[in-house]
Amino acid sequence: MKRQKLLPVLSTLLLLTPLSTQVAALTQQQELYQETLKAARSSDNPQVVAGLKQLGDYPLKPYILYTQLRARLDQLDARDALNFSERHPDIPLEGRLRWALTTSLGERGEWQQFTQLYKTLDNPNTTQECYAGRAALATNQRQEAYAIAGRLWVEGSSQPNACDPLFEQWMQAGGLTDAHALTRVLASLEAGNPSLAKYAAKQAKAATTRQQIEFAQSLYENPQQLLENPSILTKANPEHRRLLMLAVNRLRRSDLDAAIDLWVRDRERLSIPVEEQFEITDRLGIYKAKRFQPDSPATLAKLDPQFQRDDLTGWRARLAMINQDWKGVETLIGKLSAEERQSERWQYWLSVAQEKQGQQVNEQLKQLSKDRTFYGFLAAELSGSAFTMNHEPAELDEATLTRLAAMPAFQRIHELFELGELYDARSEWNQITRILPPREQHLAAHLVSSWGWYNQGIRGAIQSEKWNDLDIRFPDPFRSLFDTAAERNGITKTWATAIARQESAFWIQARSHAGARGLMQLMPATARDTAKKHELPLNGLGSLYDPQTNIDLGSAYLGEMYHRFDNNRVFATAAYNAGPNRVNRWLRDRGELPLDIWIETIPFDETRNYVQNVLSFAVIYDTRAGRPAQLLSDSEKKLLAFNQAN
Phi, psi at residue 388, to the nearest 5°?
Answer: -105, 125
SS3 601: coil
Interatomic CA distance for residues 515 and 619, integer angstroms: 29
Contacts of 467 (CB under 8 A, 6+ apart): 461, 473
- Of 302, 369, 301, 361, the C-alpha closest to 331 is 301
Contacts of 523 (CB under 8 A, 6+ apart): 514, 515, 516, 517
Percent of the chain that is helix, strand, coil (3-state, to 5):
70, 0, 30
Our separate counts of H helices and E strands in the chain read 40, 2
Interatomic CA distance for residues 490 and 563, integer angstroms: 9
Asked if residue 411 lies in contact with residue 366, where contact means CB atoms within 8 angstroms, the answer is no
- Of 130, 228, 181, the C-alpha closest to 189 is 181
Asked if residue 454 lies in contact with residue 477, where contact means CB atoms within 8 angstroms, the answer is yes
Interatomic CA distance for residues 149 and 173, integer angstroms: 12
Q: How many residues does the chain have?
A: 646
Interatomic CA distance for residues 352 and 340, integer angstroms: 17
Interatomic CA distance for residues 631 and 30, integer angstroms: 46
SS3 7: strand
SS3 327: helix
Interatomic CA distance for residues 507 and 567, integer angstroms: 28
CA-to-CA separations, 312 to 124, 166, 208, in angstroms, rounded:
38, 47, 41
Asked if residue 277 lies in contact with residue 267, where contact means CB atoms within 8 angstroms, the answer is yes
Could you tell me the maximum CA-CA distance found in the chain, to the nearest angstrom? Answer: 85
Amino acid letter, 454 = Y
Enzyme catalytic residues:
503
Asked if residue 323 lies in contact with residue 293, where contact means CB atoms within 8 angstroms, the answer is no
Interatomic CA distance for residues 437 and 567, integer angstroms: 47
Amino acid letter, 327 = K
SS3 6: strand
Interatomic CA distance for residues 424 and 33, integer angstroms: 15
Phi, psi at residue 504, to the nearest 5°?
Answer: -130, -5
Interatomic CA distance for residues 511 and 523, integer angstroms: 10
